[in-house]
């Protein structure tokens, strides 16, 4: 097996090979690091790297497998961790010049669980400054580019995590999602991403208390997403919002024959790119071929649904940036972080109240509709991707030649509405590619706290297509 083929193994397959002693963690780590060193300068999926330490940990994992000793659920796997969560004693920059030298004295609960399970953090994955953009570029780390077409973004804010998986430089990756930041990179990079229901996975304060905020896995297969999700989920003593008891996803599921699936191509108000529409319709045909009834529904939503999301984000996230950074460090901040902080300064309590009332109005149609269906499907993004170096002051978002209505970078993504409906699980999976090579994706949305449903649908869909990244033909040509 070539080094490239090693780099594109699924995590579940790599673990099987470790246990069968047909592959060692050292072999895999060496291949992944070599590939990372080859592509980092052009694509920039990583910020900080810990390659020497990772090789040492891989050597220890190799010894465990050789002896037949007890191993963790992720033992020996190279895992990219988003550069916004903490690992004690290691730098966390948040993609910002302001915090470039910050070193935490605690480890985030997700990261602690990953490392306890034997996962090896060989690198931190790139994020826009303070994770507040739908693309990944920053003054500190530069532009992270899409392995499928470097002219385009990987999405944001977990863009480095999407990029490292597509490029074959990690087997698993972590992300966070406050407006789509797991699902957008999953779509733009052609990988799988999971936004769990609020509270399913622990998070760090203070945003563990924001119901829009979620942590979750990114992977190259649905099975790998399940593997990582089962490690990180469950109550944490530092997070009062984390749910009890721990919820463990099944790894095998029954067919979805007889399911009823609802869909909307535009959520009632988005302009959606023609290629995204075509790929979404093709994905819906796959579900029909699996024996599901697939029906279009009218959610009764309008552009107010997106204003509901932005009202919440600006009031909490924007105010956080304004309070903690904008006053003191404006000259060091990126344009998009300044913009969000400025929105926060202007926000009022009435804005937040309106967002709560808007969320209730949205679920008043979505919730009853979902009582009749097993899952809901829509595109993940309305456009395959914006340019890698996108900036709002210079660039406009046009879809099918039309200028989008909302003057923020959220105008091209169809994800924030499901942060508003934060208790609904959402699995993002690939739906194909656009003519420019950039992947497209769909969101599989479940009833509140019905995590297993979206994985059952996602795994059936993936199996019908034969998976992703299985051959050189189905991988980025880098």
Tell me the pLDDT tens digit for each residue of 388-397. Answer: 999 988 999 9
Q: Which of 389, 388, 387, 313 is nearest to 398 (CA)?
A: 387
DSSP summary character for residue 125? E
Say yes or no to pLDDT of 401 above 80.
yes
Token output for 67: 């002896």
Q: Which residues are catalytic?
A: 82, 157, 181
Q: 149: helix, coil or strand?
A: strand
Mean pLDDT of 431-436: 98
State the average pLDDT over residues 107-123.
98
Average pLDDT over residues 404-413: 86
**pTM for the whole thing?**
0.98
How are beta strands 398-399 and 293-296 bridged, if at all? unpaired
User: What's the pLDDT band for 323 if we cut at 50, 70, 90?
Assistant: very high
Name the one residue in this structure whose structure tokens are 């993936």.
462
Q: For the residues 118-146, what does the mean pLDDT come to?
A: 98
- Tokens matching residue 188: 């733009």
CATH architecture of 3-474: Alpha-Beta Complex (3.90)
User: Model confidence over 452-468: pLDDT tens digits?
Assistant: 999 999 999 999 999 99
Residue 440 has pLDDT above 90, yes or no: yes
What pLDDT is stored for residue 357 in this prediction? 98
Q: Specify whether the backbone of 199 is left (phi greater than 0), alpha (psi in -120 to 50) or beta.
A: left
Whether 407 shows a pLDDT value over 80: the answer reads no
Q: Is residue 368 over pLDDT 90?
A: yes
Query: What confidence tier does 140 reach under pLDDT thresholds 50, 70, 90?
Result: very high
Supply the pLDDT for residue 392. 83
Contacts 24+ apart (CB under 8 A), 348-355: 348/315, 351/311, 351/314, 351/315, 352/311, 352/312, 352/315, 352/316, 354/308, 354/311, 355/308, 355/309, 355/311, 355/312, 355/315, 355/420
Asked if the model's pLDDT at residue 406 lies above 80, the reply is: no
pLDDT score at 450: 98
Q: What's the average model confidence in pLDDT over 271-290? A: 98
Cβ atoms of residues 84 and 92 within 8 Å: yes
DSSP-derived secondary structure letter, 315: I
Look at residue 37 and give its three-state secondary structure: helix
User: Is the per-residue pLDDT at 290 higher than 90?
Assistant: yes
Residue spans of the domains in the chain: they are 3-474
Residue 49 burial by CB count (10 A; 0-12/13-18/19+): exposed, middle or buried?
middle
Question: In this predicted model, what pLDDT tens digit does every residue of 76-109 receive, in sequence order?
Answer: 999 999 999 999 999 999 999 999 999 999 999 9
Number of neighbours of residue 412 by Cβ within 10 angstroms: 27
Average pLDDT over residues 133-139: 98
Model confidence band, residue 118 (pLDDT cutoffs 50, 70, 90): very high
Averaged over 373-381, what is the pLDDT? Answer: 99
The answer to whether residue 408 scores a pLDDT higher than 90 is no
Residue 405: pLDDT above 80? no
The greatest distance separating any two alpha carbons of the chain, rounded to the nearest whole angstrom, comes to 63
Q: What is the pLDDT of residues 170-215, one digit of tens each?
A: 999 999 999 999 999 999 999 999 999 999 999 999 999 999 999 9
Q: pLDDT at position 210, please? A: 98
Question: Which element (helix H / strand E) includes 375?
Answer: strand 375-379
Residue 337: per-residue pLDDT? 97
Could you tell me which of 241, 244, 249 has the C-alpha nearest to residue 215? Answer: 241
Residue from 198, 222, 226 nearest 212 by CA: 198
pLDDT attached to residue 47: 98
Q: Quote the tokens at residue 270.
A: 């988005």
Burial class (CB in 10 A: 0-12, 13-18, 19+), 372: exposed
State the chain's mean pLDDT as an integer: 97
pLDDT at 57: 98
């Amino acid at each position: 097996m070539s080094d490239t083929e090693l780099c594109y193994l699924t995590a579940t397959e790599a673990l099987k090979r470790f246990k069968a002693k047909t592959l060692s963690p050292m072999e895999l780590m060496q291949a992944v690091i070599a590939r990372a060193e080859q592509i980092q300068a052009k694509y920039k999926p990583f910020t900080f790297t810990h390659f020497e330490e990772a090789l040492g940990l891989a050597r220890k994992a190799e010894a465990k497998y050789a002896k037949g000793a007890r191993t963790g659920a992720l033992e020996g796997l190279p895992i990219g961790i988003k550069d916004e969560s903490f690992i004690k004693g290691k730098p966390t920059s948040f993609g910002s010049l302001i915090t470039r030298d910050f070193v935490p004295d605690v480890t985030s609960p997700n990261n602690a669980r990953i490392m306890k399970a034997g996962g090896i953090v060989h690198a931190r994955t790139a994020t826009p400054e303070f994770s507040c953009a739908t693309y990944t570029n920053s003054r500190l780390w530069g532009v992270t580019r899409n392995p499928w077409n470097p002219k385009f973004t990987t999405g944001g804010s977990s863009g480095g995590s999407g990029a490292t998986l597509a490029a074959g430089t990690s087997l698993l990756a972590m992300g966070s999602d406050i407006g789509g930041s797991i699902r957008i990179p999953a779509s733009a990079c052609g990988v799988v991403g999971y936004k769990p229901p609020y509270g399913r996975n622990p998070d760090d304060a203070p945003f563990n208390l924001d119901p829009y905020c979620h942590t979750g896995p990114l992977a190259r297969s649905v099975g790998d997403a399940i593997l990582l999700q089962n490690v990180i989920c469950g109550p944490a003593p530092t997070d009062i919002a984390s749910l009890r008891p721990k919820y463990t996803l099944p790894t095998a599921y029954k067919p979805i024959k007889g399911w009823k699936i609802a869909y909307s191509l535009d959520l009632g108000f988005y302009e959606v790119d023609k290629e995204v529409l075509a790929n979404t319709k093709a994905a819906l045909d796959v579900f029909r071929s699996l024996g599901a009834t697939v029906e279009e529904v009218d959610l009764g939503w309008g552009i107010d649904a997106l204003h509901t999301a932005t009202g919440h984000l600006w009031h909490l996230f924007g105010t956080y940036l304004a309070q903690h950074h904008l006053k003191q460090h404006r000259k060091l901040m990126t344009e998009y972080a300044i913009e969000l902080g400025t929105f926060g300064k202007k926000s009022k309590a009435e804005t937040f109240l309106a967002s709560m009332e808007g969320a209730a109005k949205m679920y008043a149609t979505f919730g009853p509709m979902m009582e009749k269906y097993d899952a809901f499907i829509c595109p993940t993004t309305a456009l395959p991707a914006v340019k890698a170096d996108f900036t709002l002051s210079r660039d406009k978002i046009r879809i099918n030649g039309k200028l989008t209505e909302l003057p923020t970078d959220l105008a091209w993504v169809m994800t924030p509405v499901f942060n508003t409906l934060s208790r609904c699980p959402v699995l993002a999976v690939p739906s194909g590619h656009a003519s420019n090579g950039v992947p497209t994706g769909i969101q599989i949305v479940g009833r509140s706290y019905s995590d297993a449903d979206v994985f059952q649908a996602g795994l059936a869909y993936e199996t019908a297509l034969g998976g992703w990244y299985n051959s050189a033909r189905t991988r980025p040509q880098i």
